[in-house]
Amino acid sequence: MSALASSPRGAFAYPWFPDQGDGSYRNPVIHADYSDPDAIRVGDEYWMTASSFTATPGLPILRSTDLVNWELVAHALRQVPHPSYAQVRPGCGVWAPSLRHHDGRFWIFFPMPDEGIYVVTAPHPLGPWSEPWLLQAAKGWIDPCPFWDEDGRAWLFHAYANSRAGKRDRIHVRPMSPDGRRLLGEGVEIIHAPRHPYLEGPKVHKRDGWYYVMAPGGGVPTGWQVAFRSRSITGPYEEKIVLERGSTAINGPHQGAFVDTPAGEWWFLHFQDAGAFGRITHLQPVSWPSGDVWPQVGVDLDGNGIGEPVPRAHNSLLTPGGPLLAPASSDDFSSPRLGLQWQWHANHDPAWADLAATPGRLRLLAQPGSIHRLDLAPNLLLQKLPARAFTVETCLESIELAPPSRPPVTAGLVVIGGGTFSCVALGSDSGASNLVVRSADGTVIERPADGSRLHIRCTVESDATIRFSYSFDGADFAALGHPYTCREGGWMGAKVGLFALGNAGHANFGPFLFS
C-alpha cells in the first residue's frame, strides 16, 4: 500500500516504506536498485553509495540516521570519466564502490572494469566532490576497498572480473600512498578460494587486532557472505560463511557493508537480486558472541552456525512514530533542478532538460535517435523501479517543432531493461500527431491521435508484468498494446522514464507520479 511522505518537492505517495512505525522495520529497507551498496557511519549519521554503471550523474549518496529510513541527497560523480561513455555501454562503467571516511574527508574508490580504479573525495558527502582521478589503469580490477591502518600505512584491496582479467575467486592487496594517488608495489594475493565461486566485493575492517575481509561468494543470484580473518593484513586468512539463504526466500544475501552504531551494535546492509526490480537493499542484525571473533549475521535458524536473513526486526535506532523516509521517486517538476532520482542513460549534456522555460513542467530537448533503438539512446531520462508493484502516470502536454523546417519529434514514456524496451509516445510532424506504441517484441504501431495532450499510465505488477494505458482527456484510460514481462539489464534492474527524439524541437511533460 502506498503512503504519503513529505519532501522538498511536496507530499507524494511512496510505493514502499520499511519503517513500521513501532520501532521495527521490514526488509528490504530500500526497494530500489541501489546495487552493491557500501555504507559508513560518521558521528550519528550513516552514508551510503552504490554502483551506477553508465547512468549519470553517478555514485548516488544516501543518508540515514537509523539505517532504515534513507534519503537520496547527492551524487558524487557528474559524468563517467571516459569519453566512450557518451554512448550507452551496457554492463560497463561504474561498478561496486567503497565509501570511507579518513583524515577528515570522505573517499569513494570505484572500479571501471575496462579502464581501472578511480577515486573521488569531498569534505562532506553533500559535496563538493572532486573530479575523479585514475589511481591505476587496469583491465579487470574490480571492487576496490581502501584501508588506512593504525601505523599510517595505506592499502588497496580488490577483486578480479573473470570476463576481463581471466581470473576470479581472488582477493589482492597492494600498498598505496596515504593520499590515494598511487600504488607503491605489486602487493600480494591474500585469498584464492574457488570453493567460493565469483568471490568479489571485499570490504575491510579491523576489530580487536583482527583484520577482516568481508566478501560475497557464490554469484549474485545464489551466493552467500564470507568473512576472512587474520592477525596480519597480508595473511594468512581463515574463513567462515556468515550468511546464507538457508530456508528463507531471500536469494543471494551478500555484498554490502558492516556498520557499527554509537552504542556498539552492528548491522549488515546487503543486496538481494530481485530480477527486473534490481538489487534491493536488506538490513541484517549482527552480533559478536562473547569469546568469538566471528560475527553472527541475521538469525541461525537451523543451528548450523550460519545466519539467515530476517524478514523484519526491531532496531533501537528507530523512533516509533517518527518520520518515514524513502529515496525520492515522484517529481512534480516544481524545482529549478531535476530531482536526484533522475539519471541519464549515459554521459549527458545538462541542456537536454529545462525546468525554467515552463515552471512546473519538464521540457526535454529532442535529440537524434531511433525509436527502434531506444536502448542505446544516451538521452533517456530514467529512474529506478521503486517497489515490487506500483503505477506511474505522466502527461505529455505538448510537442513543439522547430522552425523553419519543423522536423518531426517523438516523445513519451519508456520502460527499459535487459536490452528490451517498450514505450508509448506521441509523434508530431508538421501539425499531424500520431499515437506511437513500440512493444517489447519490436512491433511499432502508429495511428492518428485524438489530441495534442497524451496521458500515459504504466502499471507494474509483482511478477514484473508491464501494462500501458492512455488517455487524451486524463479521465478515461484505455489499455494499449500487450502486457509483457520486463527484464533486468547488465547488472541492473529495469528502469522507467521519459524521452524526446528528433533533430530539433522539444516536448513538455507534466508531473511524473508514482502510487
The grid coordinates listed for 475 are 479521465
Contact between residue 446 and residue 458 where contact means Cβ atoms under 8 Å apart: no
Q: Which domain holds residue 468?
A: 343-514
Q: For 58, how many CA atoms within 13 A lie in the half-sphere containing its CB?
A: 30
Cell 543451528 locates to 303
Do the domain assignments include residue 16?
no
Can you list the residues of the chain whose pLDDT is less than 70? 1-11, 431
Is 71 in the active site? no
Same domain, 300 and 449: no
Q: Collapse the DSSP code of 438 into the 3-class scheme (helix H, G, I; strand E, B; otherwise coil) and give the result.
A: strand
The grid coordinates listed for 83 are 569519453
Same domain, 135 and 279: yes
Same domain, 299 and 390: no
Same domain, 221 and 274: yes
Sort residue 316 into left (φ over 0), alpha (ψ -120 to 50) or beta: alpha
- Count: domains in the chain: 2
Cell 543471494 locates to 252
Is 200 in the active site? yes
Do the domain assignments include residue 221?
yes
Same domain, 130 and 264: yes
The DSSP line for 104-162 is TEEEEEEEETTTEEEEEEESSTTSPPPPPEEEEE-SSEEEEEEEE-TTS-EEEEEEE-H
Do the domain assignments include residue 326?
no
pLDDT for position 164: 96
Do the domain assignments include residue 152?
yes
User: Model confidence over 137-147: pLDDT tens digits?
Assistant: 999 999 999 99
pLDDT for position 36: 98
Contact between residue 273 and residue 221 where contact means Cβ atoms under 8 Å apart: yes
Same domain, 238 and 138: yes
Residue 147's domain is classified under what CATH number?
A: 2.115.10.20
Same domain, 349 and 286: no
pLDDT for position 373: 94
Nearest alpha carbon to residue 251 among 73, 101, 27 = 27
Contact between residue 466 and residue 331 where contact means Cβ atoms under 8 Å apart: no
Q: Collapse the DSSP code of 505 into the 3-class scheme (helix H, G, I; strand E, B; otherwise coil) and give the result.
A: coil
Residue 382's domain is classified under what CATH number?
A: 2.60.120.200
Contact between residue 85 and residue 348 where contact means Cβ atoms under 8 Å apart: no
- The size of the chain, in residues, is 515
pLDDT for position 3: 44
The DSSP code for 401 is P
* CA pair distance 271, 143, nearest whole angstrom: 15
Query: Could you say which of 36, 38, 244, 273 is catalytic?
Result: 36
Cell 568481508 locates to 214
Question: Is 0.95 topped by the overall pTM?
Answer: yes
Query: Could you say which of 19, 115, 143, 200 is catalytic?
Result: 200
Same domain, 300 and 405: no
Contact between residue 14 and residue 514 where contact means Cβ atoms under 8 Å apart: yes
Q: What residue type is 209 in one-letter code?
A: G
Q: Collapse the DSSP code of 221 into the 3-class scheme (helix H, G, I; strand E, B; otherwise coil) and give the result.
A: coil
